[in-house]
Chain A
Amino acid sequence: MLEARKGHTRQNRRRRERAVLLFIRLTAVLALAVMASILLYLLINGLPAINLAFLTEFPRDSMQKGGVLPAILGTVVLALGALLTAIPLGFGAAVYLAEYARPGVLVSFIRLGVSNLAGVPSVVFGLFGLSLFVTTFGFGRSILSGSLTLGLLILPTVTASAEEALRQTPQSFREAALALGASRWQAIRQVVLPAALPGMLTGSILALGRAAGETAPIMFTAAAAYTLAPPDSIFREVMALSTHIYNLATNSTHIEETRPQQFGAALVLLVLVLGLSMFAIVIRAKLRRGRKW
């Protein structure tokens, strides 16, 4: 009885098979198409606005003319500041989780903290930064407040990728060092960290890109709509590309007139963020392929 069925449903099965796989392939095509159209749209509209002056000059005439130099500088400074905040804490946390921690209640709570911090909405980080850094600590709207806020925002990402890199260094490295009479910390510092560091830094570059692209956390903690002052002190407020785009597109008095500036700034930000991500992804692939252990 079964013998007959084995060939029986073949036609039907094939047709359904093809339909479903078609849909699955379509999703991949669609994802690429969406990304490509966004990139193309910004390229076509943004490229005409971009020239050397746009990248190297201050805005003029209520932002209708001139460039976005201070916003680029501000974004770079804030993102680096965030990384400077997140790397010591994140790498330290990763070393604890990967090298010292033994499974238990404490570690579960720490992991719970990291994974939940990753899910806190970025605007809530903004509120927190406003309340703690800007007001309570009295740092004001400044590079310092913005960097600390962004730093906490990317802390989970930095921690997770650093822990991953540490876990990928083979256990045998640690054993060998310990068997030679290294202390725990000597083994970590001299053998494990040098091997894991490239991977840890690659993860941090991805986080750097994320920090550069964020808007909500810096809106009330660091960003000025317009300032001529250079970012020469950590207590200065700065312009940033993301908030600049938002302000020009929604709040300014010349929304239509500054359109080219908006597209230009959007393209610069996109290139900056995607460039960082791509750089990190390429390095990561290289590291994985070049690894001998």
Chain B
Amino acid sequence: MVEDSVIISARNVDFYYGDFQALKNINIDILRDEVTAMIGPSGCGKSTFLKLLNRMNDFVPGARLSGEIFIGGESIYAPEADPVVIRRRVGMVFQRPNPFAKSIYDNICYGPRLVGVKKPKELDELTEKALRAAALWEEVKDKLGKSALELSGGQQQRVCIARALALEPDILLMDEPTSALDPIATAKVEEWIKDSGLSIVIVTHNMQQAARISDKTAYFFLGELIEFGPTKELFTRPKEVKTENYITGRFG
């Protein structure tokens, strides 16, 4: 494994919500430009782990952590690390589409404006680029001034993707991004993920989805990382019995 192709690595990560240990000794290396899926039954810790990657768990009262997480070689939980800067480098798309109650344009420009982009021309360019990258440009280019809340659910989710992409993040985190979408919209988002060529970490409860779109898959169970490897292998020749039970639907 080439050292600099690793973009995220976790070392001995334990995580607690108050008295409850949600993650146990997680060690993982996630590669650049790959789609990594995280699967497992609900409550297994996969979303918790995802939210550690952009420090969104900072807002959870009683959250505690030991171990280290590196993104691009930097320890993101080091005392001098600035969560705001980390979040600008690590984009996130949530379970439910959550565009702001603003125009499509203002939604996309939110991130660039935060980092101080002010020139209209520059903002226009960034908007078009982000919307194209999210495969939404053709659908909305004539109504950028309209409220993003008036779009369909699938379009809203792609606005959220574009909004995250406008900051040109190193990694995109996606927390069950299609669970609130209909099958057609889901297919569009999945297609986008496959073709994007970005480093994406996606949490999904849908095993077929993981199999369809990801290069690597990680299986979480009760806060532990049970198995991690190339998606094809994991789904066809799982090494662990627990993984096999889960993917064959034998448990729960």
Complex: A in contact with B (CB within 8 Å): yes
Chain A residues packing against B (C-beta within 8 Å) = 102, 170, 172-173, 175-183, 186, 190-191, 194-195, 292-293
A190 and chain B: residue at smallest CB distance: B110
How distant is A11 from chain B, measured CB to nearest CB, in Å? 53
**Contact of A175 with B98 at beta-carbon distance under 8 Å, contacts A180-B110, A180-B167, A292-B149 already known:** yes
How distant is A182 from chain B, measured CB to nearest CB, in Å? 6
The answer to whether the Cβ of B163 comes within 8 Å of any Cβ in the partner chain is: yes
A180:B149 contact, CB within 8 angstroms: no
Q: Which of A178, A183, A194, A293 contacts B102 (CB 8 A)?
A: A194
B167:A181 contact, CB within 8 angstroms: yes
A179:B61 contact, CB within 8 angstroms: no
The answer to whether the Cβ of B92 comes within 8 Å of any Cβ in the partner chain is: yes
Chain B residues packing against A (C-beta within 8 Å) = 54, 56, 59, 61, 84-88, 91-92, 94, 96, 98-102, 110-111, 114-115, 147, 149-150, 160, 163-164, 167
Residues of chain A within 8 A (CB-CB) of B149 are 292-293
Q: Which of B96, B98, B115, B147 contacts A181 (CB 8 A)?
A: B115
How distant is A135 from chain B, measured CB to nearest CB, in Å? 46
Q: Which of B84, B98, B147 contacts A176 (CB 8 A)?
A: B98
Residues of chain A within 8 A (CB-CB) of B94 are 172, 175-176, 179
B87:A178 contact, CB within 8 angstroms: yes
Q: Which of A179, A180, A182, A292 contacts B101 (CB 8 A)?
A: A292
Residues of chain A within 8 A (CB-CB) of B91 are 179-180
Nearest 3 pairs between A and B by C-beta? A181-B88, A172-B98, A179-B92
Q: How far is the CA of A14 from the CA of B248 in the complex (A)?
A: 59
Residues of chain A within 8 A (CB-CB) of B101 are 173, 194-195, 292-293
A179:B54 contact, CB within 8 angstroms: yes
A180:B87 contact, CB within 8 angstroms: yes
Q: How far is the CA of A46 from the CA of B229 in the complex (A)?
A: 84
Q: Which of A102, A170, A182, A194 contacts B98 (CB 8 A)?
A: A170
Residues of chain A within 8 A (CB-CB) of B54 are 179
A173:B56 contact, CB within 8 angstroms: no
**Contact of A178 with B59 at beta-carbon distance under 8 Å, contacts A190-B110, A293-B149 already known:** yes
A102:B163 contact, CB within 8 angstroms: no
Q: How far is the CA of A176 from the CA of B85 in the complex (A)?
A: 15
Please give 9 more A-B residue pairs, beta carbons under 8 A apart, in addition to A179-B91, A181-B86.
A176-B163, A179-B92, A180-B111, A182-B114, A190-B110, A191-B110, A195-B101, A292-B101, A292-B150
A179 and chain B: residue at smallest CB distance: B92
Q: How far is the CA of A95 from the CA of B112 in the complex (A)?
A: 26
A191 and chain B: residue at smallest CB distance: B100
A181:B100 contact, CB within 8 angstroms: no
How distant is A174 from chain B, measured CB to nearest CB, in Å? 8
Residues of chain B within 8 A (CB-CB) of A176 are 94, 98-100, 160, 163
Q: 5 A-B residue contacts at CB 8 Å? A: A176-B163, A181-B85, A181-B114, A182-B84, A191-B110
How distant is B55 from chain A, measured CB to nearest CB, in Å? 9
**Contact of A186 with B98 at beta-carbon distance under 8 Å, contacts A178-B59, A178-B87, A180-B87 already known:** no
B110:A179 contact, CB within 8 angstroms: no
B112 and chain A: residue at smallest CB distance: A180
Q: How far is the CA of A179 from the CA of B174 in the complex (A)?
A: 11
B89 and chain A: residue at smallest CB distance: A181
Q: How far is the CA of A190 from the CA of B164 in the complex (A)?
A: 17
B148 and chain A: residue at smallest CB distance: A292
How distant is A191 from chain B, measured CB to nearest CB, in Å? 5
Residues of chain A within 8 A (CB-CB) of B61 are 102
How distant is B60 from chain A, measured CB to nearest CB, in Å? 11
Residues of chain B within 8 A (CB-CB) of A175 are 56, 94, 98
How distant is A293 from chain B, measured CB to nearest CB, in Å? 7
Q: How far is the CA of A180 from the CA of B94 in the complex (A)?
A: 12
B85:A177 contact, CB within 8 angstroms: no
B100 and chain A: residue at smallest CB distance: A191
Residues of chain A within 8 A (CB-CB) of B110 are 177, 180, 182, 190-191
B164 and chain A: residue at smallest CB distance: A180
How distant is B198 from chain A, measured CB to nearest CB, in Å? 16
A172:B163 contact, CB within 8 angstroms: no
**Contact of A180 with B88 at beta-carbon distance under 8 Å, contacts A175-B98, A194-B102 already known:** yes
B86 and chain A: residue at smallest CB distance: A181
Residues of chain A within 8 A (CB-CB) of B86 are 181
Find the residue from A177, A178, A186, A292 having the highest chain B CB count within 10 A. Answer: A178
B84:A173 contact, CB within 8 angstroms: no
Q: How far is the CA of A191 from the CA of B59 in the complex (A)?
A: 17
Q: How far is the CA of A170 from the CA of B71 in the complex (A)?
A: 30
How distant is A187 from chain B, measured CB to nearest CB, in Å? 10
Q: How far is the CA of A293 from the CA of B98 in the complex (A)?
A: 9
